[in-house]
Structure 1
Amino acid sequence: MKTFNHLFVVLEANNDTQPALMRAEQIALLNKARITLCLGANSRMHQIEKDIAALGDSVSEAQIHQLLTDNCQKFLKKLAEPLQKKAIQIEFSLGWSDDAVDGIIEAVEKSKADLVIKSSRHHSKIKTLFYTPTDWKLLRKCPAPILMVHSEKPHLPQNMLAAVSALAIDEEHSKLDLQVLDYASSISQLFQAKLKVINAFTPVPLGVSLDGTGVYQDEYLQDLQQEHHLKTLELTRKFSISDDQVETRHGDTNSAITECVTELNIDMVIMGTIAREGLAGLFIGNTAEKILESLDCEILTVKI
């Protein structure tokens, strides 16, 4: 059973609404957790431009640093005050790294937080061809589980979907499945939410037709689906997840998850992600990133 005693919230520097903070508040009240509010100091630079100009040409780097620190602390205290009135313990973390993601990662590692929560937004496909969004970078690099929240919702998630790959290709993916189910079981119990587990697999075709599409036999697909389903049940039973909460589908993983989210009115998807670097990491979004961009529900990603 996973615990969520320390929440790390990555704030939107210039937004009045903070969906991630709202969700963190709800979890903290349920679990008596403490919250660290993280803000990239440089993201507030435009807020002190007038103050810098008022100091004239003689302004020093130390003065700018102090102005920025004061501005950030004022912003953080304003956000923290309503939570502190509810007896939630709040800590502050200011990031000074030129790279926002590196600053967040460094702060997360120091905090040893159980869960990182961040507001997220969709990005255009053209933009992601040439620029890796901050959310994607965090999914790849962050050592702690990350909950991405798209919008402020007053109610807690009531329908959750955990995605696994029961016949994992290697030991790393097998461990990842166990992590996904552990977190899914834990957070669904915390929220008293309904949990569904899906195992999507892509069958290898028995042949290729003249038009280039794969050829399958019904009996072959049924046997393969049964094999995947039984393996999934082996995993889910370790976490006392009932068999009727488990479903196996053949087809593209992204499509299967998207279909389930729509059919079951899913509020949160829990899935694993593998950190990748180099050209593959720059140009090819993995399943978690594609799901993050295609769905409006919350996404909780975990690593081993």
Structure 2
Amino acid sequence: MSIYNKILVVANVNNEPQPALARAMQLARKSVSKSNITFFLSIYDFSYEMTSMLSIDERDAMRKGVIQQRCAWMNEVAKPYIDDSVNFEVKVVWHNRPYEAIVSEVFAGEHDILIKATRKHDILESVIFTPTDWHLLRKAPCPVLLVKEHEWPENGHVVASVHVGSENPVHIELNDCIVEQVKNLCGRLDAKPYLVNSYPVTPANITIELPEFDPTTYTDAVRGHHLKAMKALRQKHSIDEEFTRVEQGLPEDVIPSIVQELSAGLVILGTTGRTGISAVFIGNTAEHVIDKINCDVLALKPKGFISPLDPNQTA
């Protein structure tokens, strides 16, 4: 079970408010031991690379000057958030691909979790993810927490999306990981965990193609299978039945509906991927769910996940 004591926070360079840093401190203050927070930024200006009139040493000096300015700014904006309860470090690197720089730092610092602010759509109240966000969700080797500018309420709710209908070992292990994470976070935040699972609606065309098919019996059987699997999961992890939900429908409809009903501050999702090879991807279900929810998102990888940016896998 992760305790999230080595936290990498990506600076929000476009704003003085730093919701990711605020969230990191919220987690750190609930830790049983002193946490380490690295406040990180990747910067790049192509004009510095194209200035032919300057020597290499002069260009290096200009880059170092920009980095020092950013470090000073980050130390300043961090002051309202940081206190003596954490070990705090600012780090700025020069890199033309932010997500690669961030993932490299995750590996180099052996961070337990990556926290980054994401945009909130003012009209639809949904979370809008940038290309960097999606790269991090797909390629970061550690849990990725994408946050909005709001507080997690004490005694609030954390929704964990589990896939109990599957007998795939990857999904089974990921379910266990998700439940352990939600218990850990709820313990830190005095929040209530909710395990949510959806099962598919019976396709309407089956009754046309198979007249003898009984959709009611089939639906009852599918629901029974999912309820039985959810019971096994909650009992395995000592979760009360009142904190589990099994609903009919698509995950991208069921999960946002329950999130809204509970006014949840956080959703935990598993992201599926091809394990053991470099071609990894986030599952379509997770993408569709993320597009519709209006709260923070914690994305977890399956056991055995190998990032395509893992330096140990580079040929």
Q: Per-residue CA shift, 1:131-167, capped at 9, x if unaligned?
A: 9711111111011101111223374571111111112
Aligned twin of 1:5: 5
Correspondence for 1:220:
218
Once the two structures are TM-superposed, the CA of residue 88 in structure 1 deviates from its matched residue by: 2.1
1:22, distance to aligned residue in structure 2 (A): 0.9
What is the TM-score normalised by the length of structure 2?
0.80
The Cα shift of 1:292 comes to 2.5
Give the counterpart of 1:68 among 60, 66, 69.
66
Following superposition, the deviation at residue 263 of structure 1 comes to: 1.5
Taking a change above 3 Å as real, the CA distance of residues 64 and 275 of structure 1, as seen in their structure-2 partners, is: farther
Structure with higher helix content? 1
- Distance (Å, rounded) in 1 between the aligned partners of 2:19 and 2:26: 11
Indicate if the aligned counterparts of 1:13 and 1:40 stay in contact, CA closer than 8 A: no
Does the CA contact (< 8 Å) of 2:194 and 2:244 recur in 1?
A: yes
Distance 1:194 1:149 in 2: 19
Is the deviation greater in 242-251 or in 199-208? 199-208
What amino acid is aligned across from residue 24 of structure 1 in structure 2? A
Alignment of 1:138-177 (within 5 A): 138-153=136-151, 155-156=153-154, 158-177=156-175
Correspondence list, 1:235-250, <5 A: 235-250=233-248
Paired with 1:251 and 1:159, the residues of 2 have a C-alpha distance of 22
The 5 Å alignment of 1:97-136 reads 97-121=95-119, 133-136=131-134
Rounded to whole Å, the distance in 2 between the matches of 1:235 and 1:10 is: 34
Q: Which one of 39, 42, 46 corresponds to residue 40 of structure 1?
A: 42
Higher alpha-carbon deviation: 154-163 or 66-75 = 154-163
CA distance in structure 2 between the partners assigned to 1:56 and 1:207 by the alignment = 67
Letter in 1 for 2:24: A
Structure 1 unpaired stretches of 5+:
124-130
TM-score under structure 1 length normalisation: 0.83
2:251–2:289 CA contact under 8 A, matched in 1: no
User: What is the aligned partner in structure 1 of residue 19 from structure 2?
Assistant: 19
Aligned residues: 284
| Root-mean-square deviation over aligned CA pairs | 3.0
Residues 83 and 279 of structure 1: is their aligned pair in 2 closer, same or farther, counting only changes over 3 Å? closer
Question: Unaligned regions of 5+ residues in structure 2, if any?
Answer: 122-128, 303-315
CA gap of 1:66–1:151, structure 2 versus 1, over 3 A, is same
Deviation of 1:95 (Å): 3.1
Identity of aligned residues (%): 26
